[in-house]
Amino acid sequence: MSEKSTFAKDFVFKIVVIGDGAVGKSSLIRRYTEGSYQKEYIKTLGAQFFQYEQIVGENKDIRCRLFFWDIAGQSEFKFMRPKFYHGSKAAIIVCDVTREETLKNVEEWHRDLIENCGVLPTIIFANKCDLIEESSFDKTAIENLIKEKKFLGYYLTSAKTGVRVHDAFKSIISYLVEKATKVA
């Protein structure tokens, strides 16, 4: 006997999470999907994949089955990325606010994404904001990048404390739902 869906809409979205090694990609996904944080760093080998279900909509009648593909940031795994990108509906590029070079590398990640997927809705998570004084953080470079690349926006996040993590993920999911609802 098959289970009849009680949802007006039922979407499946693959979202790639990319960025340099040790910027917090896995930690951000775990914080969002499990509400947890793992203190010790464990390098992602190739890719990890996380599945999560989110019920949205004014009447809670839209189900989103989300597949987050956490792609290793180390250059030795670059040859594997095209297969991991395939079928993505959106991208999250993560940088570390304590390591300026990771923000500079966002353009390279975006170029890699376009080469393999074309233009996708993209958002930046500027992670580890718990390690800086936010009021003194110079947002100019990141805001210019957002404007130049036509990204959806950015969020200063902390996987460790959970600051703005849910808001950041919800913004990309809301965008995908809105776009899919208009098409459906």
- Model confidence over 90-132: pLDDT tens digits? 999 999 999 999 999 999 999 999 999 999 999 999 999 999 9
Is residue 158 within 8 Å of 128, Cβ to Cβ? yes
Domain ranges, ordered by start, for the chain:
9-183
Mean pLDDT to the nearest integer, 28-33: 97
pLDDT in tens, 155-175: 999 999 999 999 999 999 999
Give this prediction's pTM. 0.93
The tally of CA atoms less than 13 A away on the side-chain side of residue 183 is: 7
Strand partners, 66: 13, 52
Question: Residue 145's pLDDT is what?
Answer: 96
Name the amino acid, one letter, at 106. Answer: V
Question: Residue 111's pLDDT is what?
Answer: 96
Structure tokens at 110: 């975006």
Indicate the angle between helix axes 106-117 and 140-149, nearest 10 degrees: 20
pLDDT level of residue 74 (50, 70, 90 thresholds): confident
Is residue 116 within 8 Å of 82, Cβ to Cβ? yes
Structure tokens at 5: 């869906």
Question: Residue 1's pLDDT is what?
Answer: 44
Question: Residue 40's pLDDT is what?
Answer: 72
Structure tokens at 129: 């904001």
Question: Residue 75's pLDDT is what?
Answer: 78
Domain 9-183 has CATH 3.30.2020.30: no
Task: Output the CA torsion sign for 158, 161, 163, 168.
Answer: positive
Question: Residue 91's pLDDT is what?
Answer: 98
pLDDT in tens, 34-72: 999 887 766 676 578 899 999 999 999 999 999 999 988
